[in-house]
Structure 1
Amino acid sequence: MTTATVVSKDGTTIAYEKIGSGPAVVLVDGAFCYREMGPSRPVAEQLSDRFTVYIYDRRARGESGDTLPYDPQREVEDLQAVAAEAGEPVDLVAFSSGCAVTLATVQAGLAVRRIGLYEFPLIVDDSRPPAPEGYQQHIRDLIAAGKNGAAVKYFMHSGIRLPRLLVELFPVFPGWSKLKKTAPTLTYDGRFMGDALDGKPIPAGRYDYVSAPTTVYAGTKSPAWMRNGNAALAQAIPGAKFVDLPGQTHQVNAAKFVPTLKEFLQ
């Protein structure tokens, strides 16, 4: 795949690649992730035998630029720009907090054929405590103070609920430097996530604007709160289907995910 660029509405350069041939599919990454880190590349490679797949670096990640001050609308425009290169209507497949970006872009009027959402981090019941009071503000404060590593750890423990001992070991794991480098974008994802981690049911009618066929996925080895949240999301989106992926976690295995995804997108 060769890197190309598109200029978003505010003048920011967004880097992307495309692979394969067939109907256009755009992949949307979640927190930290971009073309060189996360699920998009392996998923794109396995979809490419039947689809033209677009993967892109969300702004302030990888080879994409950024323009301050940040506003969530800019990321909606970024996805719109990539989709325009692909040729609407497109299929959208999103991971984690990228689901929020995707749904916001659909709400803004992007023409889509199908939508696949993998594990939007939603707390909708008491299967886990909600994020702490002031959670998003604390992440913003840590980033503003230049404490990127501390922000990563706080997000992983207080947001994702990974065990504290595991989180403390993150600096010795491969990829720690990439996590710290992209940590400032946690504040961007936070703007999209809104009340998703507050532990309250999804308000009635929130996703009534979604008219494209939609499938929501969750792994059977993910925690109960994640599975419950995504099951509730499927119920909240008109006509959506919920699919459990056997043996999968939030870090989905492309080889296990793509066959099911192809069945939906065909």
Structure 2
Amino acid sequence: MTKNSYNAVTSKDGTTIAYRSFGRGPGLLVVPGALSTSEEFTELAGKLSDSFTVHIVDRRGRGGSGPQGPDYSIAKEREDLLAVQEATGAVYLFGHSYGGLAALEAAMATSAFAKIALYEPGVVVQSEPADWNWLSEYEKDMNRGDYRAAFAAFVRGAGHTPLSRLPKWYAKLILRMVIRGNHWSRILRLLSENLNEHREVRRLASTYPRYGEIRADVLVLSGGKSPESVHRMAGELERTIGRSRTLSIPKLHHLSPENGESPAEVSQCVRQFLIS
């Protein structure tokens, strides 16, 4: 496999799914989260490319892949990952956040993956209707064209930062100051896709017992700085999936696998799990 090559497959519904390939060795699919593309995982891939052929998927709606489509659901993500797995022969799988949720759904449909590492997958183990009020705010803000407000609604609702405890107007102001330029442009391009994806997170809330059917070895990673709800979710997955275990990495947070954060620490844990 040529190092740092850009490839594509056609998914079941005809959508093009692109992916970047790095290194040599057994195949490892990397599935980014909701507001990310393959570009944000090149450092993680580079750390693993001496032992694995790492294929970073551009999920539909981003990068070189086709659009989500009007009938988008996580079933489409599952079909996309199965298409990339068939093309690459990958036997390992890594998913971050919503990408971790997609990875779990793909693992339900195939026995091709021997080992699956997840970093804070987008699994909701317990849900009340009020927990999702932010999603309707997000949609209204998008319809009004107030994309900064939509992003603030998402960040507060997702609950991964202290901004969740601040009034929305104040969170919006802080986010405007700290997320600018190219970083904001990247997020802005994915806000509509992010809304669709979190509708799926809501739909799948509390359905995690289904993952008890997964027979692969599974490692659920989390960051020590992440909220307690994340660690409870990881514990529930460990109790649900027969061949699974959890590992919390001190000082890390939800975005740690991405470029410029802590991909070296994440990759070290993933490597040890995959080669053990």
TM-score by length of structure 2 reads 0.84
Alignment of 1:1-266 (within 5 A): 1-37=4-40, 40-66=41-67, 68-72=69-73, 73-88=75-90, 90-109=91-110, 111-122=112-123, 124=125, 132-160=131-159, 162=161, 163=163, 164=166, 165-172=170-177, 173-174=179-180, 175-194=183-202, 202=206, 205-252=209-256, 253-266=262-275
Taking the aligned partners of 1:116 and 1:63, their CA distance within structure 2 comes to 25
1:139–1:114 Cα change, 3 Å: same
1:106-161 C-alpha deviation (Å, 9 max, x unpaired)? 222352111111112455579xx986344434434443444433221111012235
Instruction: Please state how far the C-alpha of 1:19 moved relative to its aligned partner.
Output: 0.5
Taking the aligned partners of 1:215 and 1:11, their CA distance within structure 2 comes to 32
1:215-235 C-alpha deviation (Å, 9 max, x unpaired)? 101111112111222122222
Note the residue ranges of structure 2 that are not aligned, 5 or more in a row: 257-261
1:69–1:123 Cα change, 3 Å: closer
Taking the aligned partners of 1:260 and 1:133, their CA distance within structure 2 comes to 33
Report the secondary structure of 1:3's partner residue. Answer: strand
1:186-226 C-alpha deviation (Å, 9 max, x unpaired)? 123224313566xxxx5684211110000101111112111
Determine if contact 2:93/2:103 at 8 Å carries over to the other structure: yes
Q: Which amino acid aligns with 1:94?
A: G
Instruction: Please state how far the C-alpha of 1:182 moved relative to its aligned partner.
Output: 0.7
Taking the aligned partners of 1:67 and 1:221, their CA distance within structure 2 comes to 32
Taking the aligned partners of 2:224 and 2:131, their CA distance within structure 1 comes to 26
Report the secondary structure of 2:70's partner residue. Answer: coil
Taking the aligned partners of 1:232 and 1:28, their CA distance within structure 2 comes to 22
Instruction: Please state how far the C-alpha of 1:31 moved relative to its aligned partner.
Output: 1.3
RMSD: 2.4
Report the secondary structure of 1:112's partner residue. Answer: coil
1:16–1:203 Cα change, 3 Å: closer
Taking the aligned partners of 2:264 and 2:106, their CA distance within structure 1 comes to 28
Taking the aligned partners of 1:182 and 1:146, their CA distance within structure 2 comes to 14
TM-score by length of structure 1 reads 0.87
Q: Percent identity?
A: 30
Instruction: Please state how far the C-alpha of 1:103 moved relative to its aligned partner.
Output: 1.1
1:192–1:109 Cα change, 3 Å: farther
Instruction: Please state how far the C-alpha of 1:24 moved relative to its aligned partner.
Output: 0.5
1:11-38 C-alpha deviation (Å, 9 max, x unpaired)? 211221101111100001111111123x
1:166–1:179 Cα change, 3 Å: same
Taking the aligned partners of 1:243 and 1:16, their CA distance within structure 2 comes to 28
Q: Between Structure 1 and Structure 2, which shows a larger proportion of helix residues?
A: 2
Report the secondary structure of 1:6's partner residue. Answer: strand
Report the secondary structure of 1:249's partner residue. Answer: coil
Instruction: Please state how far the C-alpha of 1:256 moved relative to its aligned partner.
Output: 0.9
Report the secondary structure of 1:206's partner residue. Answer: helix
Report the secondary structure of 1:109's partner residue. Answer: coil
Taking the aligned partners of 1:9 and 1:56, their CA distance within structure 2 comes to 16
After TM superposition, what 4+ stretches of structure 1 lie above 6 angstroms from structure 2? none
